[in-house]
A and B are shown apart, each in its own frame.
Chain A
Amino acid sequence: MSTTKTYEPSISRTEGRPLAGGEREYMIDVRTQDMEVNMGPQHPATHGVMRVLVRADGELITGAQPHLGYLHRCAEKIGESVEWLQYLPYTDRYDYLAAMNNNLGYSMAVEKLMGIEIPRRAMMLRTLCAELNRIGSHLIAIGTYGLDIGAFTPFLYMFREREWMMALFEKICGARLTYSYIRIGGVFNDAPPGWLSEVEAFCDTFEVKWREYYDLLIQNHIFVKRTADIGVITREMALDFGLTGPMLRGSAIDWDLRRDTPYELYDEICKDKAFEIPLASGEKGTLGDCWDRAWVRAMEMMESIKIVRWCLDKIEPGPVIGDIPKTLRIPPGEAYVGIENPRGELGHYVVSDGGKIAVRCRVRGPSFVNLAVLEELMPGALLADTIAIIGSTDIVVGETDR
């Protein structure tokens, strides 16, 4: 399909910024010489080493082009060069804020190829850890988003809760960022004694703190002013660009892989109606603006808490990993598994020829796909809005570049 389709820019140069109530704020159309500004690779708001080549007419952005590849580490090629199990630690490193989810995606793809059963307790622990990690990831997403907008303090508050989450993960697997906890065939280790009650204590505290952050940042008047009506992704655009995750639900498209293509225990969780999929409604401005995306992430944290509580409720003793040999030989075939990462659909496509090493190991990173919409959103925004837009896409450069 050709990609020459053009979209109406969110802010037109002559008609000005749309305001609530149908008014428009007019800008005097003074043309100056366009200036090309390199935002990045060393820039505090590009969330890593990404470069956005911005063409600016004063403060007004007339064009923007993201340049990727500064953090390229040949993840896929490594996946085709090392043994199945050895690749697992590399999956930690693409979306390093949600390493558990990456482990889960890769393990599920390989397990699908092997056609093995996972012990129930292992699935419980997997779901629990993946959801806890989603909370941690969204905490960073919203916290750094606040930082981009200029609010420094909520970021550190959110890091405090994330620190707790990381301490929990450290107890269960020994690592704080790159866990490699979810293995092919189960999980690495059973939860240490008392760990589950600690998770419960975390949930109890988090629910209180969440309210605080929601009032302090998401509902903050200046925050709303800075993010509402900015970077509007219409439903049509969201579908055309293949957006997934909170980016998609921020445009009120009801799609979540956890519910729509259930994997692991999500089938049961959905049957119990243990969680909902928060959908943006354009409450503070236009549907699909930056605020909506931030709001979706905030609400998803609470839904994740519900899933964690469901797992804590239903978890039973049992084995946590099947009998998996050190060197896997996987029957020939191919498998694709997409899971709902905090940033969207993380897909792993693995092909085996029956050997010890994958023939093809393709990763569909949600950040990479979501980033494509940036070019469309930037023209017409102000320089400060570009930061708000980049922040609202919540990219992890480790994943866009892999």
Chain B
Amino acid sequence: MLTFDPAIGFSSAVLAVQSAESGLKDGFGTNAIQDFLVGVKPEYVPAWAVPLTAIGIAIGIVLAIVSVLAMFSTWLERKVSGHIQCRFGPMRVGWHGWLQPLADGVKLLLKEDMIPLGADRTLYVIAPALVLASLLGAMAAFPLTETFYFANFGLGIFMILALTSTTTIGVVMAGWSSNSKWSLYGAMREAAQVVAYEIPLGISLLVPIMVAGSFNLIEVSQGQGGGYGILNWNIWPWVNPFMLPAFVLFFVAILAETKRAPFDLPEAESELVAGFMTEYSGIRWSFFFMEEYAAMFLYCVVGSFFFFGGFESPVTSLAESVGGTNSLLHQLGAASTIVLKGFAGVFLMMWLRWTLPRVRIDQVMTMGYKYLTPLALVCVLGAGLWEAFIAPHLWWRS
């Protein structure tokens, strides 16, 4: 039977690359939604309708997850910034303002959707959708547990990096089509910044990839399990001493990739008004926002998979020993672990945003090209030598 994967709707190119490179993984056929649909399929429904329906449901779920993530993150951002700044943040709508994102969402939906005169209407309308769609595609490669995922690619991280980079095209389109000089500045800064920081981001991830021997998120996570508990996580210097510097480089790079302070130059509110989204309003504007928060979460999740043990945590181990491997309890433990780890990273990014001033564009470029990229290369070289010559002789690594 022809197997379809939801992510195929987002990027067939990446799929082609992965199937050419490493073939489909074992987990591919065990897509829970598809299995469920095959089980309940009446006789008169043609077989090709099953994967299509699965795609539809999967897109819906990813959309829902991204929306909830963005809503929770906006609430979290406002509370974190509030408490950092000696105030409360939203307090009126619901308990401690937890319904505030819903109220904001309603407001944004009802707001007038304005397209400035002289704007390139087609590009202007497509841009936010493209930005969000590329992120949704990347989210499809994010496994919530070892058996609950939408797409289990052999080159999972490769797909995430490729699709999240695509958001840049949308941002540049938005900036160009807005017919505003501030937007143009924002777009050009975004392009320059993302190109500069893609390199250290990708290279610094090579270090844990080398240690794990896999591009697949689930396999990387499994590689960090084992008898020593959290001491098995990649981040520890006894696993590989180049892992910690690589993580620092990775974290700086994701700050720049997600346009977060101190690298929020594309939207630098005191310089460029609001950067590439100056002219956007209402729901289109909220697409950029959703993308930003979802990207933050996604990158932090990637960081937790590659450096901080992924699904592995004392909670997951406990859930596994109580409920059994792949039981519902185990899956809940794994899912909550990864979500918590992701939000820990998101919190760190928020903390930095509300503490640090913004750097200048030449400093951003200098840092990316002159320092981060060479340092990332040094890390990869060192980690490679360690893996080749020292790691095989370490009893805890065998």
Chain A, residue nearest B189 (CB): A59
| Contact status A222-B357, CB under 8 Å | yes
- Selected contact of A226 from candidates B84, B188, B359, CB within 8 Å: B359
CB pair A226–B360 under 8 Å, yes or no, is: yes
Pick from A150, A225, A382: contact of B264, CB under 8 Å:
A150
**A43 contacts B273, CB within 8 Å?**
yes
Interface flag for B326 (CB, 8 Å): no
Are A150 and B185 interface neighbours, CB within 8 A?
A: no
Contacts of B182 in A (CB 8 A): 37
Cβ of A35 within 8 Å of any chain B Cβ, yes or no, is yes
Q: Which of B81, B357, B359, B361 has the most CB of A within 10 A?
A: B357
Contact yes or no, A160 B86, CB < 8 A: yes
Interface flags, B297-334, vs A, CB<8A=1, else 0: 00000000000000000000000000000000000000
Knowing A147-B270, A150-B262, A150-B270 are in contact, say whether A222-B358 is a contact too (CB < 8 A). Answer: yes
**Quick check: A44 and B270 within 8 Å, CB to CB?**
yes
Contacts of A44 in B (CB 8 A): 269-270, 273
Please give the distance in Å from B83's CB to the nearest CB on chain A. 11
Q: How far is the CB of B349 from chain A (nearest CB, A)?
A: 14
User: Cβ of A149 < 8 Å from any Cβ of B?
Assistant: yes
Per-residue contact bits, chain B 167-188, to A (CB 8 Å; 1 contact, 0 not): 0000000000000011001001
- Bound complex: CA of A58 vs CA of B358, how far in Å? 19
The distance from the CB of B176 to the nearest CB of chain A, in whole angstroms, is: 14
Contacts of B262 in A (CB 8 A): 150, 222
Q: Taking the complex as formed, is A148 at the interface, i.e. its CB lies under 8 A from any CB of chain B?
A: yes
Q: How many angstroms from the CA of A223 to the CA of B85 in the assembled complex?
A: 19
Interface flag for B354 (CB, 8 Å): yes
Q: Are A153 and B273 in contact (CB under 8 A)?
A: no
CA distance A160 to B85 in the complex (A): 10
Report Cα–Cα, A167/B84, bound state, in Å.
23
Range class of the B interface residue count = 20 to 34
A45 within 8 A of B: yes
Who on chain A is nearest to B274 by CB? A44
Inside 8 A of B261's CB, which chain A residues have their CB? 150
Chain B window 348-370, contacts with chain A (Cβ cutoff 8 Å), 1 for yes, 0 for no: 00000011111111110010000
Query: Is B268 positioned at the interface, with any CB of A under 8 Å from its CB?
Result: yes
Cα A35 to Cα B358 in complex, Å, equals: 24
Looking across the interface, which residue of chain B has its beta carbon closest to that of A27?
A: B362
* CA–CA, A17 and B365, complex, Å: 15
Interface-side segment among A72-80, A101-109, A175-183, A383-391: A383-391
Interface: A146 (CB within 8 A):
yes
Contact at B357–A146, with CB atoms within 8 Å?
Answer: yes
Residues of chain B lying within 8 A (CB to CB) of residue A37 = 181-182
Q: How far is the CB of B97 from chain A (nearest CB, A)?
A: 18
Within 8 Å of chain B (Cβ to Cβ): is A152?
yes
Name the interface residues of B265-314: CB closer than 8 Å to any CB of A.
265, 268-271, 273
Given A150-B262, A150-B357, A156-B87, A35 and B181 contact (CB-CB distance below 8 Å): yes
How far in angstroms is the closest Cβ of chain A from B186? 11
Q: Is A220's beta carbon under 8 Å from chain B?
A: yes
Q: Across the interface, name the chain A residue whose C-beta is closest to B354.
A: A153
- The reply on A157 being an interface residue by CB < 8 A is yes
User: Nearest chain B CB to A246's CB is how many angstroms away?
Assistant: 20
B84 and A153 contacting across the interface, CB-CB below 8 Å: yes
Which of B81, B181, B360 is A152 in contact with, Cβ under 8 Å?
Answer: B81
Interface residues on chain A, number (Cβ under 8 Å): 32
Cα A44 to Cα B81 in complex, Å, equals 20
Complex: A290 Cα to B81 Cα, angstroms: 28
Query: Does the CB pair B85–A153 fall under 8 Å?
Result: yes
A214-247 at interface with B (beta carbon < 8 Å): 217, 220, 222-223, 225-226
Decide if B360 touches A157 in the complex (CB within 8 Å).
no
Do B270 and A220 touch (CB < 8 A)? no
Query: Please, how many angstroms separate the alpha-carbon atoms of A160 and B264 in the complex?
Result: 26
Query: A150 contacts which chain B residues (CB < 8 A)?
Result: 261-262, 264, 268, 270, 356-358
Contact A225 B363 (CB under 8 A): yes
Distance in angstroms between the alpha carbons of A152 and B85 in the assembled complex: 9
- A387 with B270, Cβ < 8 A, contacts A37-B181, A152-B81, A220-B356 known: yes
List B contacts of A359 (CB < 8 A).
none
In the bound complex, residues from chain A placing their C-beta under 8 Å from that of B271 are 45, 383-384, 387
**B86→A149 contact, CB < 8 A:** no
**Bound form: Cα–Cα A281–B207 in Å:** 46
Q: Restricting to A105-164, which residues have a CB under 8 Å from any CB of B?
A: 146-153, 156-157, 160
Known: A35-B181, A156-B86, A384-B271. A226 touches B361 (CB 8 A): no
Which residues of chain A have C-beta atoms less than 8 A from B81's C-beta?
152-153
Per the 8 Å Cβ criterion, residues 73-120 of B in contact with A are 81, 84-87
Check if B361 sits within 8 Å of A149, measured CB to CB. Answer: no
Which B residues touch A382, using CB under 8 A? 360-362
A77–chain B nearest beta-carbon distance, Å: 34
Closest chain-B Cβ to A56's Cβ sits at a distance in Å of 8
Known: A35-B181, A157-B85, A225-B363. A149 touches B357 (CB 8 A): yes
* Contact (A220, B357) CB under 8 Å given A44-B270, A225-B363: yes
For the complex, give the distance between the alpha carbons of A45 and B360 in Å. Answer: 15
Q: Which residue of A lies closest to B360 (CB)?
A: A384
Nearest first, the 7 closest Cβ-Cβ pairs linking A and B are: A150-B358, A151-B357, A149-B357, A156-B85, A150-B357, A45-B270, A222-B357
Interface residues of B, Cβ cutoff 8 Å to A: 81, 84-87, 181-182, 185, 188, 261-262, 264-265, 268-271, 273, 354-363, 366
A-B contact pairs, 6 of them (CB 8 A): A17-B362, A25-B366, A45-B270, A150-B358, A156-B87, A382-B361
